[in-house]
Chain A
């Protein structure tokens, strides 16, 4: 007679173990136990029937054993796999988040706070859900939770204290180290789980799937960080990453980021659903009708979520705008446009400028909008040579740059560029708008900042207009650019990275709306541009105009810089005219300012000599 199979007993003991693989394993283990006992009993002289009965009896209370095994194996391998999925998804989400925070000019604290909340909550939900089930995944979970907690605690510091460049470097360095450690812990935990499931097909599948996810993660990492970036030693410098990430965020690849960034939301919904389901089971709501109802609720929730996500993702980068968003008569509008035209803005771009923008510009122009006597159509001083700028009542400063690639030469026209001395309290706002050839985006207010002390607010008021003459830029793909402050010095140094390389004309104008202030310290003029990744060699010509306040050209000369052919060339130029020290600008009339400018002229000439 063959060895007994103990089928009935084993069937009963293992029938409520969820995972097929675990059920098979437990069954095999118990079968080995019963057979061992059976063989020994047989060796002691028992009959087959006696030995079989004794083996079953020795196993004890079958009811109790059944309950214990069912309870212990309530969590299945698929639960662990879900944990792995969640952890990997969180990794990808964090990754995208860091990218967006570092480089997206439109990102900010409040835009991402929801993300951080989800990131903080999810690891703990994971731990609660699988608490005590498998200790091998706990280190990775705890590390993830710790990372999120630390991230939330450090967020105000990161956003409001650290300068951009340092923020980028620190964030990326710390994040990458922790992420790597977390992935190693996760992989280690998965390997240990799989090792205890030898000969298990599902375990192998789990391992393969995990490896696949890790590879996918690595590909994403490579894609976002390195592709389009500078594959050189300085890849991880702020500028290098900025270039590559600008590539990523500036194109329609944004959907990848959004998809991954929405991962925590999906998982949160899953948890809600799962909790409801478990509660329903506990309350014995297992009737088919109730299950159907629950399924319908789930489908409805999923539909709502998907439609909401779709709607949000369908939103344009900025809200729709109306040209007549502020009261401005056609006549006034025509006058202001006429003046702006003298700055190089073409008619089609001017036609798209909303009234509010025009009004703001008008306030910075030589002729005030409110000045009825001003002849806009014949601006008295289109080049601002006699611009009555009153520094002690500083409202707006502006400079404009006209970049043209028509003869592979970029001409920069500097009207005025103010940088604030260190330790001067000031506040200013920055706005940015993008105009492409056939689409216009509403100027986006990207934040108001105020700084008291040595740190300069990472703000200012921007109006950025990009347009192109050809058809290289397709409809619906607005040009993007990024302006960010890369150093905190007494000079405001910004870099502008043009993600679209085919644009042929770029007009850049910037205004600072500043609070009245008194400058008692150093006062400098400075200009710095970093032009990166132009595919064609070109020269950059700084064609500076006379400084309106002092009646001279602070740079005194035109300078041409020739840039190499490498697409990865980072070109930087900084011109500093001179320092005006210990000037106190008190309430003065325009005549007094001119007199002050004359004094400064003398100083400049002396320095020039």
Chain B
């Protein structure tokens, strides 16, 4: 099942930070990792990934470095200490948010039942 874009929009940065926190990655790898981890539920629009990455880098949450792979330049991203803190904060925020949504949905189902 594909998720509505509007629904996943706010969590894209969180997901990107989360996967990069595990290991340094480049753009395409990030897209694929998210797809695989979500079992193809989240299929990031590849074009939207790079503005997110660049914004995170400019805000100091990510650091970037270049490597040469197969004769072409590849930009890898790694999370900074500031990024880890931000990730923890956003994760906690997300937990609260998702928990609250679940509660609301649960109570609605009960009312219908």
Interface flags for A22-66 (1: CB within 8 Å of B; 0: not) read 000110111111011100000000000000000000111110110
Interface flags for B45-62 (1: CB within 8 Å of A; 0: not) read 111101100110111100
A134 contacts across to B, CB distance below 8 A: 58, 60
Rounded to whole angstroms, the CA-CA distance of A59 and B44 in the bound complex is 10
Taking the closest CB of chain A, its distance from the CB of B54, in whole angstroms, is: 5
- For chain B, the bracket of interface size reads 20 to 34
From the candidates B28, B73, B82, name the one contacting A28 in the complex (CB within 8 A): B73
Which B34-88 residues have C-beta < 8 A from chain A? 45-48, 50-51, 54-55, 57-60, 63-66, 69, 72-75, 82
B59 contacts across to A, CB distance below 8 A: 132, 135
Rounded to whole angstroms, the CA-CA distance of A416 and B34 in the bound complex is 90
Cβ of B47 and Cβ of A72 under 8 Å apart? Answer: no
Closest to B75 in A: A29
Cβ of B72 and Cβ of A32 under 8 Å apart? Answer: yes
Cβ of A60 and Cβ of B72 under 8 Å apart? Answer: no
Question: Which one of A26, A133, A136 has the highest number of Cβ atoms from chain B below 10 Å of its Cβ?
Answer: A136
From the candidates A58, A65, A135, A136, name the one contacting B50 in the complex (CB within 8 A): A65
Cβ of A199 and Cβ of B46 under 8 Å apart? Answer: no
Cβ of B47 and Cβ of A136 under 8 Å apart? Answer: no
Rounded to whole angstroms, the CA-CA distance of A33 and B32 in the bound complex is 11
Judged by a CB distance under 8 angstroms, whether A111 is at the interface is: no
Selecting from A190-198, A208-216, A326-334, the interface stretch reads A190-198
Cβ of A25 and Cβ of B51 under 8 Å apart? Answer: no
Cβ of A32 and Cβ of B28 under 8 Å apart? Answer: yes
Cβ of B28 and Cβ of A133 under 8 Å apart? Answer: no
Cβ of B65 and Cβ of A196 under 8 Å apart? Answer: yes
Judged by a CB distance under 8 angstroms, whether A489 is at the interface is: no
Cβ of B48 and Cβ of A65 under 8 Å apart? Answer: yes
Taking the closest CB of chain B, its distance from the CB of A83, in whole angstroms, is: 14
Rounded to whole angstroms, the CA-CA distance of A73 and B53 in the bound complex is 12
B63 contacts across to A, CB distance below 8 A: 192, 195-196
Rounded to whole angstroms, the CA-CA distance of A27 and B28 in the bound complex is 14
B46 contacts across to A, CB distance below 8 A: 33, 37, 58-60
Cβ of B60 and Cβ of A32 under 8 Å apart? Answer: no
Cβ of A69 and Cβ of B50 under 8 Å apart? Answer: yes
A29 contacts across to B, CB distance below 8 A: 26-27, 50, 73-75
Taking the closest CB of chain A, its distance from the CB of B51, in whole angstroms, is: 4
Taking the closest CB of chain A, its distance from the CB of B20, in whole angstroms, is: 14
A35 in contact with B51 given A132-B58, A132-B59, A198-B66 (CB within 8 Å): no
- For chain A, the bracket of interface size reads 20 to 34
Judged by a CB distance under 8 angstroms, whether A584 is at the interface is: no
Closest to B27 in A: A33
Cβ of A60 and Cβ of B48 under 8 Å apart? Answer: yes
Judged by a CB distance under 8 angstroms, whether A78 is at the interface is: no
Judged by a CB distance under 8 angstroms, whether A472 is at the interface is: no
Rounded to whole angstroms, the CA-CA distance of A508 and B60 in the bound complex is 62
- How many cross-chain pairs have Cβ atoms below 8 Å apart between A and B? 79
Cβ of A31 and Cβ of B72 under 8 Å apart? Answer: yes
From the candidates B47, B60, B74, name the one contacting A59 in the complex (CB within 8 A): B47
Closest to B47 in A: A60
A33 in contact with B28 given A58-B46, A65-B47, A72-B51 (CB within 8 Å): yes
Rounded to whole angstroms, the CA-CA distance of A135 and B75 in the bound complex is 20
Judged by a CB distance under 8 angstroms, whether A68 is at the interface is: yes
Interface flags for A1-37 (1: CB within 8 Å of B; 0: not) read 0000000000000000000000001101111110111
Cβ of A28 and Cβ of B75 under 8 Å apart? Answer: yes
Closest to B59 in A: A135
Closest to A25 in B: B75
From the candidates B47, B58, B69, name the one contacting A62 in the complex (CB within 8 A): B47
Rounded to whole angstroms, the CA-CA distance of A29 and B47 in the bound complex is 12
B82 contacts across to A, CB distance below 8 A: 135
Rounded to whole angstroms, the CA-CA distance of A196 and B28 in the bound complex is 19
Rounded to whole angstroms, the CA-CA distance of A579 and B27 in the bound complex is 85
A28 contacts across to B, CB distance below 8 A: 72-73, 75
Rounded to whole angstroms, the CA-CA distance of A32 and B73 in the bound complex is 7
B74 contacts across to A, CB distance below 8 A: 29, 32
Closest to B44 in A: A60
Closest to A32 in B: B74
Question: Which one of A25, A32, A132, A195 has the highest number of Cβ atoms from chain B below 10 Å of its Cβ?
Answer: A32
A135 contacts across to B, CB distance below 8 A: 58-60, 82
Rounded to whole angstroms, the CA-CA distance of A60 and B54 in the bound complex is 17
B51 contacts across to A, CB distance below 8 A: 65, 68-69, 72
Taking the closest CB of chain B, its distance from the CB of A37, in whole angstroms, is: 6
Rounded to whole angstroms, the CA-CA distance of A135 and B62 in the bound complex is 11
Rounded to whole angstroms, the CA-CA distance of A132 and B55 in the bound complex is 9
B69 contacts across to A, CB distance below 8 A: 32
Rounded to whole angstroms, the CA-CA distance of A369 and B72 in the bound complex is 94
Closest to A62 in B: B47
Cβ of B72 and Cβ of A72 under 8 Å apart? Answer: no
Cβ of B72 and Cβ of A30 under 8 Å apart? Answer: no
Cβ of A136 and Cβ of B65 under 8 Å apart? Answer: no
B72 contacts across to A, CB distance below 8 A: 28, 31-32, 35
Cβ of A72 and Cβ of B75 under 8 Å apart? Answer: no
A133 in contact with B47 given A28-B73, A32-B27, A36-B28 (CB within 8 Å): no
Cβ of A195 and Cβ of B73 under 8 Å apart? Answer: no
Rounded to whole angstroms, the CA-CA distance of A195 and B28 in the bound complex is 22
From the candidates A31, A61, A73, A199, name the one contacting B47 in the complex (CB within 8 A): A61
Cβ of B26 and Cβ of A32 under 8 Å apart? Answer: yes
Taking the closest CB of chain B, its distance from the CB of A66, in whole angstroms, is: 9
A62 contacts across to B, CB distance below 8 A: 47
Closest to A68 in B: B51
Rounded to whole angstroms, the CA-CA distance of A72 and B82 in the bound complex is 20
Rounded to whole angstroms, the CA-CA distance of A198 and B26 in the bound complex is 15
Can you list 17 A-B pairs with a CB-CB distance of less than 8 A? A28-B72, A29-B26, A29-B73, A31-B72, A32-B73, A33-B26, A59-B47, A65-B51, A68-B48, A69-B50, A72-B51, A192-B63, A195-B63, A196-B63, A196-B65, A199-B66, A199-B73
Which B residues are within 8 Å of any A CB, using their own CB?
Answer: 26-28, 45-48, 50-51, 54-55, 57-60, 63-66, 69, 72-75, 82
Which A residues are within 8 Å of any B CB, using their own CB?
Answer: 25-26, 28-33, 35-37, 58-62, 64-65, 68-69, 72-73, 132-136, 192, 195-196, 198-199
Which 8 pairs from chain A and chain B are nearest by CB?
A135-B60, A60-B47, A68-B51, A65-B47, A60-B45, A36-B28, A198-B66, A59-B47
